[in-house]
Amino acid sequence: MSRAVDHTVPPEVAEEELFRAQVYALLARLLAHAPDAAFLNALGELAGEGGEFGAALDRLADAARDSAPAAVEEEFTTLFIGVGGSERTPYGSFYLTGFLNEKPLAELRADMARLGIARADGVTEPEDHIAALCEMMAGLIGGAFGSEDGAPEDGDIVGLDGQRAFFDRHIGSWAGRFFADLETSPSARFYRAVGAVGRSFLAVEARAFDLAA
């Protein structure tokens, strides 16, 4: 699972698919750990190309340039870890049922087994964490996991139908609400921009899947 997946994208992946995988990987990294100084500097170089998603990327770049690593680390802890409870609970089961470790997690684990996605050693949190799910989508697009036929092989690329099924079931059903909540979190500063990027990107993804249907 997440945090220990090779996201090297094979050369046969089209440029637009590579971009999608990169955005998912970016969100996964931002939601798994607070960015350090080097990562913030890299984020400060982002430039959108118009539209709501482009504007969100520009906002993230501005936030990165205006943020100190220590402040972002403290913000991350308050939002997602917190002593006595975090401000946001970034798990699919929680958003879909109100509780952790419920049926949506069991369904995700079944799909992970079918797709050849293994939980990484040393990871203790449930697999329906938003960072893990974004990392899974990046891997499905780029061929980091297996195939859909029950016989996973490294380098197989899950097609759009398989991507859409995974997205609809495990991400599209709740993550937009999570990102919108993140944008309005009282303790969020830098992560409000992350919320905007996530919300707008998922909206683009949903529209693209609908058009491809």
The token pair at 11 is 């050369």
Percent of the chain exceeding pLDDT 90 equals: 75
The token pair at 75 is 């913000």
pLDDT bin (cut points 50, 70, 90) of residue 3 is: very low
Helix (H) or strand (E) holding 11: none
Estimate to the nearest angstrom the gap between the alpha carbon of 42 and the chain centroid.
18
The pLDDT value given to residue 154:
45
Mean pLDDT of the chain: 89
pLDDT in tens, 42-98: 999 999 999 999 999 999 999 999 999 999 999 999 999 975 678 999 999 999 999
pLDDT bin (cut points 50, 70, 90) of residue 121 is: confident
The pLDDT value given to residue 84:
64
- What domains are defined for the chain? 15-212 (1.10.3480.10)
Helix segments in the chain, DSSP class H? 15-32, 37-43, 51-65, 69-76, 92-97, 103-115, 130-142, 160-170, 175-183, 190-212
Q: Residue 155 above 70 pLDDT?
A: no
pLDDT, average across residues 161-169? 95
Report which of residues 158 and 157 the model is more confident about.
158
The pLDDT value given to residue 149:
47
pLDDT in tens, 189-209: 999 999 999 999 999 999 999
Percent of the chain exceeding pLDDT 70 equals: 87
pLDDT in tens, 14-39: 888 999 999 999 999 999 999 999 99
CA distances to 24, 62, 109, 193, 195 from 66, rounded to whole Å, are 23, 6, 39, 12, 17
DSSP string computed for 44-56? TT----SHHHHHH
